[in-house]
Amino acid sequence: MLRYYLKNTVFSPATIVGILGFWLAMVAGTTFAGDMLLSYQYGMSLGVTGYFIPVAAILPICYVERQMHTGNIWHLCVIRSSRRAYVLSALFAAILSGVVVSLGTFALFTVTSYLLTPPPHFGQGMGGLPPTQPIYIYLEAHPVLHYFESGLIFVLNGALWPAVSLVCWSLSNNQYVALVAPFALEVGVSVCAQYLQLYYLDPVQCTLKGIANQLPGGGIPYAVLYITTVNVICGILWYMSLARRVKHG
């Protein structure tokens, strides 16, 4: 079951489409007038790059789930393996495929930025990092590490939304709902969190471009905990929904 999911998510045409589409969005939404870190931060903070994460990262899992829900193939797979094996395989493949999309996108953006930015390619970016955080004091002295630390956070954010899309598939066979819902949820939760001043519930904070970078460890433990919690909750919800659907045929 896991091999099937990995083949049809990580190694699917949807992964290539997600990477290329996301890369084009990043390139179109930034400027290459400064250093590489500035180009990345400009797109994430002032452009629309961050809003493409829940769009591009879910394409691989939507691709395979559309196949699974055509003719109720998912039901046959549950019978042949087990409910738990099916859920864990799909959840792992979904998260991994989102990470692969983000990783591929960041790799292409890094090459593009290196070719288009003037030397020296690595610099301080926009600056303005919390001076009380030892990790950022260290990173400001090592621009190359600072750039790739930002890339690590970017890649981690690719793991946030695929599991949300899986839950949507468990509630509806409509592929458009599964495609649009994660993006709509990100925008909705972000707006509500800002309005209620519950800033740390805002999924956008996981990119560490806001107040989250003032947390211990520069906000990295916060981002990891947030993403892990969302995936655990979605995994439980998806398992419960799947159990209900199997019970009622």
Query: So what's the pLDDT on residue 239?
Result: 86
At residue 164, what is the residue type?
A: V
**CA distance from start to end of the chain:** 21
Query: So what's the pLDDT on residue 249?
Result: 53
Q: Where are the domains of the chain?
A: 2-247
Which pLDDT tens digit goes with each residue over 123-176?
A: 888 776 776 778 888 888 888 999 999 999 999 999 999 999 999 988 887 888
Residue 48 CB neighbours (<10 A): 12
Question: In 3D, which of 165, 122, 126 has the Cα closest to residue 145?
Answer: 122
Mean pLDDT, the chain cut into blocks of 10 residues (249 residues total): 82 94 90 88 77 92 85 67 81 94 96 90 78 82 90 94 91 86 92 92 88 89 96 91 66
Query: So what's the pLDDT on residue 71?
Result: 65
Query: So what's the pLDDT on residue 94?
Result: 93
Cα separation values, 3 from 92, 94, 103, Å = 11, 12, 21
